[in-house]
Amino acid sequence: MSSVLEIDFACPIGFRPLSLDLRTPDVADAPVVVFLHGGGWLRGSRRVFTPGIDDAHSFDRIVAAGFAIASCEYRLSGEALFPAQLDDVGAAIDWLQAHGSAYGLDASRLVLWGVSAGATLAALTALRGRRVSGVVDWFGPTDLFAMAEHDMGDAPSETREARWIGGPAAERPEIARAASPLHQVGAHLPPVHISHGTADEHVPFAQSEALAEALRAAGADEVEFHPVPGGRHFWAGLDDTDAVFDRAIDFARRVTAR
């Protein structure tokens, strides 16, 4: 098990301090994975990579591959609406780039790795123009307008997406567009690795399929898209998650190679 340092990286005015958990390998100048947790922007913890998958098969697996991993929290939707979460991710990157060398990190080689809502934040951070080596997007919502049509039994104003942007997408179209990676796609993006289960009941597989198609159509430098047959949300339904982790780690290793 890798040791964990808890570090406050920002304190937005009027809010609580924001922390990251830093795990480092026994190598100098390690590339960095910035991990962003899921939970619909309204719950979740930086301490849990994916519900049902323990640290040994997630955080520790990435560190064993030679990466430092900074698992970063961000303000949840009950604390602040979009785009506050993107500001928080940016603050974490700024801290790592300013202070990472003191911890043996090479933050010029940095991959954003998000799951579910965290994957949306990872993609949007790159689309905002942050210079990163790559993005790992695991089953993230990409189009809030289409997500509004995905009935999970909530009233339109009570969905996770509506709680995040301050109302239903149809009532806040400009904000919903800005919060949707699909509608922010441009050609000048870092390499992107997308994995999504074909049986995902919370975020439809079509969300990632559409993003991959849009990225390729826009001429993005590199897009990996991996459908995971039978995979449900947070990889429920998979007997073994080693393969999905290995593909993402291989991608991160390649895009951060010197």
**Residue 232 belongs to domain with CATH number:** 3.40.50.1820
Tokens of 122: 């990872």
pLDDT range class, residue 219, cuts 50, 70, 90: confident
Tell me the residue range of the domain where 223 lies: 5-255
How much is the mean pLDDT over the chain? 95
What is the predicted pLDDT for the residue at 181?
97
What is the predicted pLDDT for the residue at 1?
62
Q: Kindly report the number of other CB atoms within 10 A of residue 39's CB atom.
A: 17
Per residue in 126-158, pLDDT (tens digit) is 998 888 999 999 999 999 999 999 877 788 889
Is the pLDDT at 258 greater than 80? The verdict is no
What is the predicted pLDDT for the residue at 154?
84
pLDDT range class, residue 59, cuts 50, 70, 90: very high
Bridge partners (DSSP) listed for residue 18: 10
Is the pLDDT at 26 greater than 80? The verdict is yes
What is the predicted pLDDT for the residue at 129?
87
Q: How far is CA 223 from CA 15, 116, 183, 184, in A?
A: 37, 18, 17, 16
Per residue in 181-201, pLDDT (tens digit) is 999 998 568 999 999 999 999
What is the predicted pLDDT for the residue at 152?
78
Tokens of 236: 């429920």
Is the pLDDT at 3 greater than 90? The verdict is no
Structurally, the chain folds into a number of domains equal to 1
Mean pLDDT (whole number) for 74-103: 97
3-class secondary structure per residue, the chain: CCCCEEEEEECCCCCCCEEEEEECCCCCCEEEEEEECCCCCCCCCCCCCECCECHHHCHHHHHHCCCEEEEECCCCCCCCCCCHHHHHHHHHHHHHHHHHHHHCEEEEEEEEEEECHHHHHHHHHHHCCCCCCEEEEECCCCCHHHHHCCCCCCCHHHCHHHHHHCCCCCCCHHHHHHCCHHHHCCCCCCCEEEEEECCCCCCCHHHHHHHHHHHHHCCCCCEEEEEECCCCHHHCCCCCCHHHHHHHHHHHHHHCCC
Whether the CB-CB separation of 41 and 67 falls below 8 Å is answered with: no
Q: Which of 83-87, 107-111, 217-221 has the lowest mean pLDDT?
A: 217-221
What is the predicted pLDDT for the residue at 220?
83
Higher pLDDT, 41 or 155: 41
